[in-house]
């Protein structure tokens, strides 16, 4: 990242972190360098860019931004969150083992079990609420500990520092999928993680208009290893998408503040509602990992899951179908509020038995609370629940 932005606070880094006015005309926003290649004055003589898979100035601006806001030194941008995860797992060899959260994002679970298991990489899915349980699964082949926190959709919170300690003691790397929290709420590299991963499709982009993945790291040798894979496998993002995420990041802190405020109001509304059974939100003192959440997060975010009290599939489908301000859709983290039914949508690829063990029952609804007016969101939920 640019030296002159290192001492800035988070709310300034989102706007200026790692950014320089463009060298050509001083444009404040990085131009969208929609080009595959770059003119050379003599063979091998160029201005730092040869071919856009290997490097592109707009992508670099975004890579510098994610490094800055995550407190890292290097960033890498990919065509999707899953492409970023794919890059991390490709640092492993057959026989290497990964310990991962058991209530993992469905797409990550599918990539691990349906693609990488074929290549001899071994995955263990364990509940990470108890650090001792994770430590017990470590062996000589453990190379990575893969953490998602808060988890999707059960909103479990994993103690990043405790996981970092286990990783360090066993010369494994700790990777944190920071998609749900964003660096506004928690910065895993500062808590001992080696790699932070993002689906920037969600809060970082923030406007539901782009699919993109990011990694941030501190260590140069690790960054080089990841860059080698990024360039060799080629799952980079295009410059237009990099531009959109950069633009999104500039308002991240303001959006997150409102996501948190609205999330808090809705969590409290739901917990008192007679058609609602359980409400999963780490801000409640009764949440099993509330103390850890309070310690490692600045606030509790805009993601909430809850179950419909009757517990039936038809009632649950009715509630999500009756919503009018919330849109029934996959994904999360945009300015607009979304509702999802994990069992039939995001987590449909996980066998029913597996998903129910982690709490993803038919009656579960997941909300991505947007930044609309709080009263409108509450009224919408109230009328949808009244329909059953």
Ligand X SMILES: *Cc1c(COP(=O)(O)O)cnc(C)c1O
Q: Which of residues 98-137 bind ligand X (CB under 6 A)?
A: 105, 107-108
* Torsion angle of C-alpha atoms 99, 102, 108, 110, degrees rounded to 10: 100
**Cis-peptide into 332, omega within 30 deg:** no
Helices (H), the chain: 10-16, 57-69, 81-89, 106-110, 131-137, 160-169, 182-185, 220-233, 239-249, 252-271, 290-296, 313-322, 352-357, 374-386
Residues serving a catalytic function are: 53, 105, 177, 202
Smallest distance, ligand X to C-beta of residue 104, A: 8
For the bound state, the minimum distance from the C-beta of residue 233 to ligand X, rounded and expressed in Å, comes to 15
By beta-carbon proximity to ligand X, the closer residue of 257 and 331 is 331
Min CB(275)–ligand X separation in Å: 27
Using the minimum distance from each CB to ligand X, give the nearer residue, 191 or 201: 201
Q: Looking at 62, 77, 82, 172, which residue binds ligand X (CB under 6 A)?
A: 82
Choices 20-28, 74-82, 295-303, 370-378 (CB under 6 A): range interacting with ligand X: 74-82
Task: Rank residues 19 and 151 by Cβ distance to ligand X and give the closer one.
Answer: 151
CB 388, min distance to ligand X, A = 28
Smallest gap from Cβ 331 to ligand X, in A, equals 7
Provide, rounded to whole angstroms, the least separation between the CB of residue 151 and ligand X: 8
Nearer to ligand X, 14 or 80 (CB): 80
* 196-215: burial string, b at 16+ Cβ within 10 Å, e else: bbbbbbbbbbbebebbbbbb
Cis peptide before 115 (omega within 30 of 0): no
User: Does residue 322 contact residue 383 with C-beta atoms inside 8 Å?
Assistant: yes
Name the residue nearer to ligand X (CB basis): 82 or 160: 82
Task: Give the nearest residue (CB) to ligand X.
Answer: 81
Report how far apart, in Å, the C-alpha atoms of 222 and of each of 75, 200, 216, 259 are: 11, 21, 10, 33
Pairwise CA distance, residues 247 & 280, whole Å: 31
Locate 265 and state its tokens: 């109001």
Of 46-65, which residues contact ligand X (CB under 6 A)? none
Instruction: Using the minimum distance from each CB to ligand X, give the nearer residue, 57 or 213.
Output: 213
Q: At what angle do helices 374-386 and 252-271 cross, to 10 degrees?
A: 40
Total residues interacting with ligand X, rule: CB under 6 A: 16
Q: Which residues within the stretch 188-247 sit at the binding site for ligand X (CB under 6 A)?
A: 199, 201-202, 211, 213
* Phi, psi (deg, nearest 5) at residue 276: -110, 140
Q: Which is nearer to ligand X, 158 or 211 (CB)?
A: 211
Smallest gap from residue 332 Cβ to ligand X (A): 6
Kindly report the number of other CB atoms within 10 A of residue 168's CB atom: 13
- Binding-site string for ligand X from residue 142 to residue 181, where x marks contact by CB under 6 A and - marks none: ------x---x------------------------x-xx-
Helix 374-386 crosses helix 313-322 at what angle (to 10 degrees)? 140
Kindly tell me the burial class for residue 232, based on how many C-beta atoms sit within 10 Å of its own C-beta (0-12, 13-18, 19 or more). Answer: exposed
Burial class (CB in 10 A: 0-12, 13-18, 19+), 375: exposed
Question: Which one, of 366, 281, 217, 139, lies nearest residue 126 by Cα?
Answer: 139
Candidates 81, 238, 301, 342; binder of ligand X (CB under 6 A) is 81
Q: Write out the binding residues for ligand X, residues 9-28 only, by CB under 6 A.
A: none
Interface with ligand X (CB under 6 A): 80-82, 105, 107-108, 148, 152, 177, 179-180, 199, 201-202, 211, 213
């Amino acid at each position: 990242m640019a030296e002159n932005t290192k001492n800035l606070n988070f709310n300034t880094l989102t706007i200026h972190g790692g950014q320089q006015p463009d060298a050509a005309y001083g444009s404040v926003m990085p131009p969208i360098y929609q080009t595959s290649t770059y003119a050379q004055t003599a063979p091998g003589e160029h201005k730092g860019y040869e071919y856009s898979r290997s490097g592109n100035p707009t992508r670099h601006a975004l890579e510098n931004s994610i490094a800055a806001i995550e407190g890292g030194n290097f960033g890498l941008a990919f065509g999707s969150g899953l492409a970023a995860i794919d890059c991390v797992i490709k640092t492993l060899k057959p026989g290497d083992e990964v310990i991962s959260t058991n209530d993992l994002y469905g797409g990550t679970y599918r990539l691990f079990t349906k693609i990488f298991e074929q290549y001899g990489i071994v995955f263990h899915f364990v509940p990470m609420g108890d650090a001792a349980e994770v430590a017990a699964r470590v062996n000589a082949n453990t190379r990575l500990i893969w953490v998602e926190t808060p988890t999707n959709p059960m909103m479990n919170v994993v103690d990043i520092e405790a996981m970092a300690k286990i990783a360090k003691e066993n010369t494994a790397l700790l990777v944190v999928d920071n998609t749900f929290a964003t660096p506004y709420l928690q910065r895993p590299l500062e808590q001992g993680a080696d790699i932070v991963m993002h689906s920037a499709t969600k809060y970082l982009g923030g406007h539901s208009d782009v699919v993109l993945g990011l990694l941030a790291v501190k260590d140069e040798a690790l960054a080089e290893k990841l860059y080698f894979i990024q360039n060799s496998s080629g799952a980079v993002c295009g410059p237009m998408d990099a531009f959109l995420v950069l633009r999104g990041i500039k308002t991240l802190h303001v959006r997150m503040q409102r996501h948190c405020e609205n999330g808090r109001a809705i969590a409290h509304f739901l917990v008192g509602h007679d058609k609602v059974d359980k409400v999963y939100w780490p801000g409640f003192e009764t949440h099993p990992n509330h103390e850890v959440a309070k310690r490692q997060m600045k606030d509790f975010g805009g993601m909430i899951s809850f179950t419909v009290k009757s517990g039936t599939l038809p009632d649950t489908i009715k509630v999500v179908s009756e919503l009018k301000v919330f849109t029934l859709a996959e994904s999360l983290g945009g300015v607009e509020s979304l509702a999802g039914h994990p069992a039939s949508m995001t987590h449909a690829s996980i066998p029913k038995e597996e998903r129910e063990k982690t709490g993803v029952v038919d009656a579960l609804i997941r909300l991505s609370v947007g930044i609309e007016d709080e009263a409108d969101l509450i009224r919408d939920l109230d009328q949808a629940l009244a329909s059953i």
